[in-house]
Amino acid sequence: MASTEIEIPENIEITINENKITVKGENGETHRELKSSKINIEKKENKILLESATDRKKDRAELGTFTSHINNMIKGAQKDFEYTLKVVYSHFPIKMEVKQNKLYIKNFLGEKNPRIIELIGENTDVEISDDEVIVRGPNKEAVSQTAAKIQEGTKIKNKDPRVFQDGMYVIGRG
């Protein structure tokens, strides 16, 4: 039987309702559903106890995954996760704007129709400057997936990537 303990910081409030875990902090609130028939999650005083029914390798791996998810939720409730993307273009200047939880990328390679990327998560914010896009939010998974979608949305197909290097690329995580 494997088990793990997670210490809850002072300014963090955690509620566990069946499989749903909610973490509230000064930076906001994140929630996630962690389902497993073999792992028991409970809160005792200022600790979270995770126990697996057996000591099998798969159960220990799942226990480690759940521990990482909860630790990331605690970190996100304290401070935002941040990804920085660099905007690269050679001829056609790229214009961007955020409206109603969507990022509109206009004039990419001179295209008439904008490329639309939907932001993941309700608390994910996108900040646009001249040649950088910063994606921030308390949910690590939502922030990283949004940054990946932006990078993938500006991928150029059927052209030589050595010549056409326009796009948005992740250059920093924090």
Residue 138 belongs to domain with CATH number: 3.90.930.12
Rounded to 10 deg, the angle between the 140-153 and 57-78 helix axes is 90
Residues 71, 140, single domain; the answer is no
Residues 101, 143, single domain; the answer is yes
Residues 133, 59, single domain; the answer is no
With cut-offs at 50, 70 and 90, classify the pLDDT of residue 135: very high
pLDDT score recorded for residue 158: 92
pTM for the model: 0.87
- Domain boundary, last residue among 15, 47, 78: 78
Domain that holds residue 19: 3-78
Contact in structure between 48 and 13 (CB atoms under 8 Å):
no
pLDDT score recorded for residue 28: 86
pLDDT score recorded for residue 1: 84
Residues 74, 85, single domain; the answer is no
Residues 44, 95, single domain; the answer is no
Residues 56, 87, single domain; the answer is no
Residues 161, 143, single domain; the answer is yes
- Domain boundary, last residue among 35, 62, 78: 78
Mean pLDDT of the chain, nearest integer: 92
With cut-offs at 50, 70 and 90, classify the pLDDT of residue 45: confident
Q: Residue 133 pLDDT more than 90?
A: yes
Residues 167, 95, single domain; the answer is yes
Residues 86, 124, single domain; the answer is yes
Residues 169, 129, single domain; the answer is yes
Q: Residue 121 pLDDT more than 90?
A: no
Residues 47, 115, single domain; the answer is no
Residues 99, 65, single domain; the answer is no
